[in-house]
Amino acid sequence: MSILNFDESVMLIGDEIKKSENAYFSLRKKRQRIEMKRDGNIFYLEKGSVSVYRVENDLVTVSFTAPAILGLAQMRNDVMSHYLRCDTDCEMWVMNSTNANEMLSKKNLWIHAFDILTNHLQRYFQRENLRSHKTIREIVTEHVKHIWSLEPEIREKTSVYTFILSRNHISRSAIHKVLQELVNEGKLTLNRGKLSSFNGQ
C-alpha cells in the first residue's frame, strides 16, 4: 500500500465523518485521556497528535499526528485494551461504531478502512521490532534509529528519554548509561535530551 493510498483513505473517511449528522466535533486538551469505548468509537483527528496506550501497563504502543482515523481496530470489539492520550491540544470528530459501520458500508469505504488498518498494523510491527532486542543497548539503539527516522519537526520536539521510557520498562539511569556510551563513541549527539545527530548502524 502506498503512502498516497493511505493518505487518500484517511481524507475520504475523515470527510465523510465530518459531513455526517451522526458525528460531533470535539476539542481535547493536551494530556487528556480518551477512553475508546466510552467517548465514541471512531475519531477523525483533524489537528494535533495522540498516543495510543495499552491499558494493562500504560505503555505507548503507537503515536499518530493529524490527519488520522483512530478507533477502527476497536469498533467491532468490546475489549477495552487501549486508550488515547492527547500529546497536544487536539481537534477531532467523533462517531459511534454503529453509525460508523453504516457509513462505511453505505459509502463503500471499507477498502479505505482496510488500508488504514493495514498502515496501523505495520506501525505495531515496527514497535514490536523496537522491543524485540535482547540487551538494553540494542533496545535503546533501535529507538534512537526510529527517532532519527521521524520528520525533522517531530524529531526536534521528541525527548529521547521520554520516548524510550514511555514505551519500555527500562530505568532512566540504564537509558542514560547507554546514551552516554553512544555519545562517547561519536554515534550520536543530544541537545537538551533531543537527538541532534545520529550516525550509528
117 and 143 share a domain? no
Closest by Cα among 110, 120, 107 to 71? 120
Q: 7-61 pLDDT, tens per residue?
A: 999 999 999 999 999 999 999 999 999 987 765 589 999 999 999 998 888 888 8
User: Going by C-beta distance under 8 Å and a sequence separation of 6 or more, which residues neighbour residue 35?
Assistant: 80, 83
88 and 139 share a domain? no
99 and 10 share a domain? yes
Q: 132-150 pLDDT, tens per residue?
A: 667 889 889 989 998 998 8
Q: 48-96 pLDDT, tens per residue?
A: 999 999 888 888 888 999 999 999 888 877 777 889 999 999 999 999 9
Q: Is the pLDDT of residue 178 over 90?
A: yes
Domain boundary among 125, 154, 175: 125
pLDDT computed for residue 5 by the predictor: 84
pTM over 0.85? The answer is no
86 and 144 share a domain? no
Q: Is the pLDDT of residue 3 over 90?
A: no
Number of domain units in the chain: 2
